[in-house]
Structure 1
Amino acid sequence: MALNMATLKTRSLTAAVFVVVMLLGLLWNHWSFFILFTIVHFGCWSEYQKLIAKIDPEYATITPFHKYGVRIAGWCIMLFFTSDAYNIGSFSLHAAGWWLGLVCVFVLPIVELLFAGTINIKNIGYSALGLLYISLSWGLMMDLSAKSSLIAYEGIDAIYYYSALLPVSLIISIWINDTMAYIVGSLIGKTPFSAISPKKTWEGTIGGAILAVVVVGALAYWLKYPVHHWVIIAIIAAVVGTAGDLLESKLKRMANVKDSGSIMPGHGGFLDRFDSLLLATPFVWLYVVLFMI
């Protein structure tokens, strides 16, 4: 019991710190938002590369230039999706992301060839998947923040007024879905949902999705937001977020590890905490672009 209580205290303290850090990063200003997801971006990349190296040991042989260069190239994608609000005088993070990204595209293969003596297409493929899985998602998260400003504020200068409306709505939807799925599954869950994640049940998955939609819809109604848009965002978060959780669980199974990392005691690593958000973000971004802007 003492061990269980100690574990519970550790998990609770870690969760409390995590929530506080997330809220500060999301709500303070656009720079705290950028710093938050920059840290998350590099944390996810570190864990992704370790997982892939366990799945395919050949990936562990990539040169330091490849290992760190692809992380910087991914960060350039994030920079590219920043808005004019991130301009520092005449210096534009968006332009910096574009030009630095081009340099990475041309320089990295040449350096890889010089130091490794060959171009391993399979290893390049693993890194390219990481750019899609991690960097593109966090780049689109940056753009969701910019689009939040356009929705929350009207006028030509709206982009300079910070808003995290869409990112916060998406994250809250995922948190509610995950929490309610766990509670409902623990209470009445009997039917296994997937062999990839044996603890998930159909009852918990469906219950979590329904409760997420109801709670987010009620919040949107109370805040006088268009309820149908926020309900759809909650549906996307529940469905695609669950798929993201299963995808990361599959990677961990293939790598034969319990957690992707240990940065958060009792909760695992960056990928463990952001797996649902990584996959849901591009789909929410697509919905926002097609139907809300």
Structure 2
Amino acid sequence: MKTFITRTISALVFVAIMLGGILWNELSFFLLFFLVNLFALQEYFKLVRNIDPGYQEITAWHKYGVIVAGCAAMMAFTGPYFGSYNSISLGFIGLWMTIIFILALPMGEILLAKQFSLKNLGYSLLGLLYVTLPFGLLVNMRLTPGMQAVGNTGLHIGYLAPLLLIIFIWINDTMAYIVGSLIGRTPFFPSISPKKTTEGSVGGMVLAIAAAGVFGHFWGYQWLAFQHWMVLAGIAAIFGTIGDLVESKLKRMAGVKDSGNIMPGHGGFLDRFDSLIFAAPLAWIYIYFFL
């Protein structure tokens, strides 16, 4: 009972922070995912250290430099938004900080490390691609003025899309759990996630897309055309499931149950955002090129 109460309270706090950050304004959105990126990156590097003990040998310059590079990259994705026409923008500062640190990391590793390891640099670069790039694209999506919704409201699609992705992922995960509990029999990637079933995974995807279709048809057409609701739900369900499996594989390789313990009863930041990490880039591509 105590565990259930703890999980419930932490979940409510998580939902309140997420909704506040996403819906309040552009700055709160950036700060929310800036912090999520910061902590998720640290969890990723902790997993890597468990997977390959050789990564523990990186220098302090490398360890903290890649974190700074990830934070700078998040700033770079804001572009010219946080800055006036006659001042240097946050995005400009972030861009040059990212370039400087990414170029300086290998040089610092060569000069300071006892033994230079190209593999360790690869782990760090992969972390920036795996964690920072998706969150940066979400920020870019939110702040790019040209991304307008198809509909009669003129609502900024970057304002709506991140919230929809999170909702569709939540529906997919919830329905997958319910369907799997009721009729799940066939293991779905048992070597990675033994509790997942094929029936539950497929059922969650179908019901998430169906829910988006029903809402989009009857109420959501004023914000987005029906087909866009379906596509975004499909991206969230399919690639969100892939993202969950990838993170589960990393945890299994690292020999840990959760990526962190920032949320009592729910694990760490990677545990909460693993699905969004894979869904966000596909959603950005779809919105940028088709909306």
TM-score, structure 1 normalization: 0.91
Distance in 2 of aligned mates of 1:190 and 1:149:
47
**Structure 2 residues without counterparts, runs of 5 or longer:** none
Contact 2:150 2:225 in 1 (8 A): no
Q: 1:171 aligns with which of 132, 142, 166?
A: 166
User: Which amino acid in 2 is paired with 1:189?
Assistant: G
Q: Deviations over 1:101-132 (max 9, x none)?
A: 12112322222222214431010010111111
Where does 1:142-153 land on structure 2 (aligned, <5 Å)? Answer: 142-147=139-144, 150-152=147-149
Q: Please tell me whether the aligned partners of residues 148 and 165 of structure 1 are also in contact (alpha carbons under 8 angstroms).
A: no
| Mean Cα deviation higher: 54-63 or 90-99 | 90-99
Matches within 5 A, 1:1-293: 5-87=1-83, 90-147=87-144, 150-152=147-149, 164-195=159-190, 196-221=192-217, 222-224=219-221, 225-292=224-291
1:149–1:163 contact (8 Å) kept in structure 2: no
* Aligned 8 A contact 2:147 2:288 in 1: no
Quick one: distance in 1 between partners of 2:212 and 2:8?
24
CA-CA distance at 1:152 after TM superposition:
4.2
Amino acid at match of 1:23: L
Aligned residues: 284
Alpha carbons 1:190, 1:201 under 8 Å: kept: yes
- Report the Cα distance in structure 2 between the residues aligned to 1:148 and 1:8, rounded to whole angstroms: 43
Q: Does the CA-based 8 Å contact 1:86-1:92 persist in structure 2?
A: yes
Deviations, residues 228-282 of structure 1 (Å, cap 9, x unaligned): 0121111111111101000000000001100000000100000000001101111
Alpha-carbon displacement from aligned partner over 1:133-172 (angstroms, at most 9, x marks no partner):
0111111111221357731499xxx99x795211111111
- Taking the aligned partners of 2:158 and 2:123, their CA distance within structure 1 comes to 34
- Distance between the aligned counterparts of 1:126 and 1:99, measured in 2? 22
State the secondary structure of the residue aligned to 1:151.
coil
- Secondary structure, counterpart of 1:165 in structure 2: helix
Task: Provide the rounded CA distance (Å) in 1 between the counterparts of 2:16 and 2:124.
Answer: 32
Q: Within 1, Cα distance between the matches of 2:62 and 2:166?
A: 32
Misfit runs of 4+, over 6 Å: none
Letter in 2 for 1:197: S
CA contact (8 A) 1:181 1:207 kept: yes
Distance in structure 1 (CA, Å) of the matches to 2:73 and 2:54: 26
Question: Does the Cα contact within 8 Å between 2:73 and 2:98 map onto a contact in 1?
Answer: yes
The CA RMSD measured in Å over matched residues stands at 2.0
Q: Secondary structure of 1:132's partner? A: helix
Contact 2:184–2:199, Cα closer than 8 Å, also in 1 = yes
